[in-house]
Structures are given as C-alpha cells and as structure tokens.
Amino acid sequence: MKVGVLALQGAFIEHQKILEGLGAEVVQVRLPSDLDDLQGLIIPGGESTTIGKLAVDFDMMEPLKAFCRSHAVWGTCAGSIFLSKDAARQQPLLELMDIKVERNAFGRQVDSFEIDLPIPCLKKVSPSDAPFHAIFIRAPLIEEVGKGVEILASLQDGRIVAAQENRWLATSFHPELTADDRFHRYFLEMIP
C-alpha cells in the first residue's frame, strides 16, 4: 500500500513512522506530482494557516482537492481544520469535509491536555476495548457535523473530537504521538 503524508509543515514524520511500521510505503507530499499513484493521504497537525499558505504557494490546492475527492484522507488536528468546509476564519481550506471546526477551542499551548477516550469504531481493527490515549495540542473542536458525517468520538461533555464522512477522517487529537497504532490501522482499512 502506498500512502502519502502532506509534508509542507507539521508532524508528518511521526505519521510516516507509524505507517511504515504497519508495512505501508510512505511518500512525503510537497508537490502535485507526489500525489501520483497514492492510495490515501494524511494531513498532519501543525499550524493550519501555515499549511494552507504553503499549499497555495506550492500550487497544491487544486491537486489536493482533486486527490481528496476520490481517496481516503485523514486530517489530524491542523489537518482536520484544513480538510473542513468551515473554520469560521479567512484562511485557505480544502473545504471538503462537512464539518465546522473551532480552532484553538481549548485555549492556548498551556491548555494542551491528554485524556483516555472510548472510540468504539476501533473495534474494527483490534479486539481490544482499551480507551485511546488522545493528545490535544492547541486542538480544534468539531463544532458541527453535516448529515453524512458519523461521530467517532466525543469528550464526556459531548463535544466532538473525531468524525468520519465516507473515506474522510478528522481527529482533533494526535494519534501519531502515541505508540497505539489502532487509528492508523483504521485509516489503512478505509483504503479499498
């Protein structure tokens, strides 16, 4: 399996390592031609405004949109913002996934936190019922989801932090910063 990780900015190496550990071939995507022959794409966490600006500068917006429309794509944290239809601010977005996000919803860097979350869909890739250790770093919240979007995980107070729309996945937190590869396996399973 050949999977890309958008490598304009942010935590792409961490995703690459986990994917390679699962036997996938990984391509760091910076130019439109890097998307050739890929079967899926991860958009990492980082700074969504920077990722967006670089995507514009590198003429990546249209090629990324075209690729994402027909492939499995997973945005983590800033990546989920970039994938969303609406971030309530002026910044370049792919405007694909039918979610509205609130950037930095938990506050500043010091308000970053870690929490164990039950994520039932991970049952598909592992018999373990263990909660997922979710790391939130200046994370966005998924404020609203459209009709075709399934909620995969919420905080105890009901605020949404992971969602899926067909073959698009968005997580507010960073599974690539843990040793738990269930979310990466779940993503690879989405690739036909």
Point out the residues that are catalytic: 77, 174, 176
Quick one: 158 exposed, middle or buried, by C-beta within 10 A (0-12, 13-18, 19+)?
A: exposed
What whole-number distance in Å separates Cα of residue 112 and Cα of residue 106? 7
Which stretch in 25-33, 67-75, 132-140, 156-164 sits in contact with ligand GLN by CB under 6 A? 132-140
- Binding flag, residue 8, ligand GLN (CB under 6 A): no
- Binding flag, residue 16, ligand GLN (CB under 6 A): no
- Binding flag, residue 47, ligand GLN (CB under 6 A): yes
Among 38, 77, 119, 160, binds ligand GLN (CB under 6 A): 77
- Binding flag, residue 177, ligand GLN (CB under 6 A): no
Residue whose pair of structure tokens reads 């917006």 in the numeric block: 61
> At closest approach, how far in Å is the CB of 97 from ligand GLN?
15
Among 24, 60, 72, 137, binds ligand GLN (CB under 6 A): 137
What whole-number distance in Å separates Cα of residue 97 and Cα of residue 111? 26
Question: Across the strands, what pairs with 117?
Answer: 132
Question: Across the strands, what pairs with 97?
Answer: 84
Which stretch in 29-37, 65-73, 134-142, 146-154 sits in contact with ligand GLN by CB under 6 A? 134-142
Contact residues for ligand GLN (CB under 6 A)? 45-48, 77-78, 81, 103-104, 137-138, 140
